[in-house]
Structure 1
Amino acid sequence: MHKVLIVDDEIFVRKGLVNLIDWSSLQFEICGEAENGAQALTLIQHLLPDLVIVDIRMPVLDGLELIRQVNEAGSHQPIFIILSGYPDFSYAQQAFRYKVSDYILKPVDEQEMVATLRRIATTLNQKQLLSMTREKPLVEIIIDSLVQAEPDEQVMTQIAHTLELPLTSPYTYVIAEIQDKLPHREMDYMQPLQHVLQRFFHLEGQSLLIHVRAYNQYGFIVPPSWQAERFGSARMGYAKLLQGLENHLSTEVALFVGRKVDQLKKIVHSRASADECLKYRFAAGFDGIFMAAELLELPLYYYDVDEELHSKLLYEVEANHKEGFSDAIDAIFMAFEERYFTPGAVANTVRRSMIATINIIRQLEGNEEELAWLTDLLNWQTKYRNLDQLRVVFMNFIEEAAEYIAKQRGEKSKGNIEKVKKYIDGHFRENIYLKGIAAEFHMNPVYLGQLFRKHYGMYFNEYLLTLRIEEAKRLLRQTKKRMYEIAELVGFQNADYFATQFEKLENMTPSDYRNKMIDPS
C-alpha cells in the first residue's frame, strides 16, 4: 500500500476526501492529516508518505511553499497533488514548475480523483519495480503493477528478468475468494493459500504472483507452465484446484477466472475480466467456479425483484405464515440465481425487504433492534459471500421478525380485522383511505388490503364504495337533497365522480334511481 498525507486547513474537506474514495482498492492508505503546511512538513519527515494531497491556500505555510521546501530538502520526495478552489493560471503554472503531479479544482470530482490516483499508483509501482534487487523480489508490488495497467517495456523486461518468466506465454488472472463468514482480513489466509498453490502448480523454488485484495479475496496469476485442459477441460482443472483449496483451508472458496491472455504485460485484461465475473457470483449452476470464458456473454439483471414477490413476502410476514414466507423467499432466491441478479440488485432486494419489515415493526411501536438477526443482515455483504449463506441469515431475520410482529400486534390487540370493518362502517361518510386506516390500526396497508379481501371477498375500495352507494340510495329515496349534497354526505368530494360511480354500480344514474323510486311504473 502507498501512504497518503492529506493537508487542508478545513477539517470537513479533509474528512470528505477520506470518505470520498475507496483508498485501499486503489493501493493507497491514509497515513496522516495536517491542517497547514508547517504541520505537514514535520509529518512528511516522520511518516515518509508516497503521496501528499495539499490545499494551495493555507495559514502559516501555504501549499506551494510546502512543496518548494520539500523539493529543496531533497531527503524524501513524495508525489504532490494540489487542490485549489481557484482556477488561476498563475497558480497552476507555478505548481507544474515544482513538478506537481496534478492540479485538481474543488469541489473534488470523484471520477477525476480516482483516475489520477490510478495513474499515480502505477507510477509508484513502477518506481519500486525498477529499484528491486535480485535477492528480494517484491512480489506484491509486481502483481499490483501488472494488474493496474500495462507496464512500459523497461519495467516489463525487469519483471520478466527478475522472476525468470517468459514475456510471451499464456497467463490467467484468478481471484480466490474465501467464504468463511468472517469480515475481511479477520483471518490471514496468505501463507496457507501460497502453500496450496505452490504445490498445485508445481512451483517449488519459483515465485508465485499473488496479492491481497479487498473483501477476503486474493488474486494470483496462473503460471504459464500449468495447463488446466490436461484435466479434461479448463473447468475440470479449476475444479480440482478448488477442491484442494477447500480441503486445505477448511472453508468454502470461490474462484473467479479471467480470460487467458498471450503475454504477461496483458494480464491487466485478464484481471478486468475476472473482476467482471464477480458480478455473476449469485448465478446458478457454476459450482463455485466462475469463468469469464463462460459467463461474460450472459445478460445480467440489475433491477429489483418483482413487486408481486415482494408484496407476497410482506403479506406472509405480517400474517406470520412460516410456510408462506418460506415459499416467497425460495421464489426470490430462485429469481436471483436463474435471472443472474448482480450483487447490487440482490443487495437492493434484501435492503428493500428489510426496510419494509422494519417499517411494519415501527408502525406497531416496536423496536427492530430487539431482533437478534438484524445486525447480521445489515452487514451481510461484509461476511456472507454466496447465496446459501445469505439465504440462512435472511430466513432467520424474516422468521424472527414475523414472530415479533405477531407478538407486538397481539399485545396491542388492534390488528383484528373485524375492528377494522367496524371502523369503516362507522366512518365511511368521511374522507377515509386504506393507508390512513392501516396507520390507525398499526398495520401495513398492503397487508391490510389483502387481509380485508381474504376475509370479506372484496377489496377495501369496493367495500367502501358499496357502503357509500347504499347510503346514497337511502338518501335519494327518503330525502329531497340535491345530488351534490348527497355526494358530500356519503364521502364523495366531487358530484360528477359520485354520479359516475353510482351508475357503474347500479346501471343507472342517481336521478334515474330517484325517479324510479317515485314512480316504479
Structure 2
Amino acid sequence: MIKVLIVDDEPFIRQGLKILINWEQYGYEIVGEASNGLEAIKELETKEIDLIIADIKMPEMNGLELIEYVRGNMLKEVKFIVLSGYYEFEYAKKAIKCNVTDYILKPIQKDELIKVLCTFKDEYIKREELYAAQKIKDKVVYDGYLNEVIHGKSNNFNLEYIKNYNNFSDELRYIIVEINYHNECESISEDEKRKEQQIFYSNMALWLGDNYYNSVININQYTESYDIGFIYDKRLAKEKGMNESEYILNFKSGMQQIQKHDFFIYIGEKVNSIEEISLSYKSATVAKLFSDFSIENNITYYDEMAKRKELSCNAGKQYMDYLIHEIEDNNKEEIIKCVDRIYTSFREYKINLDIIKININYLLCNLINIAKELDSEINQEEVMQYISSVSFEQMISRGSANHLKTFSLEFAEYLSQLRQNSFQGILNQIDKEISEHYMEKLSLKYLSEKYYINSAYLGQIFKKQYSISFKDYLNAYRIEKAAELLKRSDDKIYKIAEKVGYNNTDYFINKFVQLKEKTPLQYRKQFCCR
C-alpha cells in the first residue's frame, strides 16, 4: 500500500478526502493527517509516508514551506500533490517549480482525484521496481567485493567500496551458517539446495533488517558451497543490549522460527578490522571442517579448537603418503580407511588452515606427477589448477571426510582411465547434450556417469577445449537463451528462469547480472524502448 498523509487546515476537507473514495481499492492507505506544515513534519518523523496531499494556504507553515523544508531537511523521498483554490494559481505555479507530482483544484472532484492517484501509482510502481532492481545489483556487486576480501584478496578499491556500505567496528567474527542436509543429502538435488540457500539468505537479510549488508552469499565461481556467511559485529549485539554469546543464540533462535531446515553455526576467531576478516573466515572454515556435529546448540567456536596441541607437518605428510599410495593402486577400501584415519587424527589437534592446504597441495602435486608419467601430453599446470581450485575448495567448503574420500576415489579412477586413454569424440557428445538439454538438470557427474568417464578428467578436457569450466559454460549458455526470450517474449521473469533451467529466480537474476551487468528487467526494457 502507498502510505498517504493528508495536510489541510480545514477539518471537513480532510474528512471529505478520506471518505471521497475507497483508498484501499486503489492501493493507498491514509496513515495520518495534519492541519499545517509543522504538524506534518512531526508525522513524517514517526511514520513511513510515501505521498503527502497538502493544501497550499495554511497557517504557521503553508504547503510551499512544507515542501521546501522536506526537500532540504528530510532524507526520505516523499512525493507531493498540492491542493489549491481557483484564485491561488500563482501558488500552484510555485509548487510546480518545487517539483511536485501534481496539483488539484478545489473543490475536489472524485474523478479527478482518482485519475491523479492512478497516474501516481503507476509511476510509484515503476520507481519501486527500479529501486528493487538497483538494490539487487548493488548487493551482488557488494557481495563480490566482500568475497574477495574474505578470501584474502583485499585491496584499497574493494575495501573502500565495502566501507561505503557498512561501517564495521573494531571487533568482528566471520560466521559460517551451514544448512543441515546430513540426513537427507541423497534426496535433495543441487538446485533444491541452491534454492534453500537463497531462501535462508533472504530470511537472514529480513532478520538483520538495516544490517543485512552483514550477510553474504558465497559467489565463488568454483565452489559448490551452500553455506551463508555472516559477519558478526559487536555493534549488532550492543544495539540489542546483549553480549556476543547472547546475540548469537538470539540469531539462531530467530532464524529457527523462519527456517524449515536446521543449521550449524561455525564461528571464526575474533579480529579487529574488516581488513583481517579473511583470518576469521579461515578459522571458521577449520571449525567447520573438524566439527563432529555433536556440539551443544549446533554452535562451534574456533576458540575451543585453538586450545588443542599443534599437529606437526611431518605427521600430516606421513598420512598423505599412505593415501597417495592407495590412490595410485586404485585400492578403494584402503582409500576409505586412510581418509578416516586422517580425519580422526586431525580432530585431535589444533589445525591451521594453511597447514591443511600444505598437506592437500602435497597430495595434489604427487597425484599430478603420477598422471604426468601416465600421459606425457597432459597439461600439468592446467590439471593442477583444475583439481586444486575445484576439488580442494569443494572439500573445504563442504567440510566432511566424505568429500576427500570422493575426490580420492574419483582421482584413483581417473588415473585408471588415463591408462586406458579412450575418450576420443566425447566432447562432441557433451556439446550436443548442452544444446538439446540445457534446460534440464545437467552436471558433470551426470554426464560422466552417462558416458562412463571420470568426472575430474571430463572437467579437464572440457576446460581445455573451451577455456572455461563446464558449469560456467552451461550458465553462460542458459543466460544467452534467457536473453533471447527476454527480447522475443513477454513472459514473466520467473517463467523465463524456469524455461532455461533455473528453479530459483533469485539465483537466475544474480547470474544474469554477473554476465550481462544488468537485471533481466533492465535488459528487456532496453529493447522495448527502441
Q: TM-score range by the shorter chain?
A: 0.3 to 0.5
**Relative CO higher for 1 or 2, CA cutoff 8 Å, sep ≥ 6?**
2
Scaled by the length of structure 1, the TM-score of the pair is 0.35
Bigger radius of gyration, 1 or 2? 1
More helix by share: 2
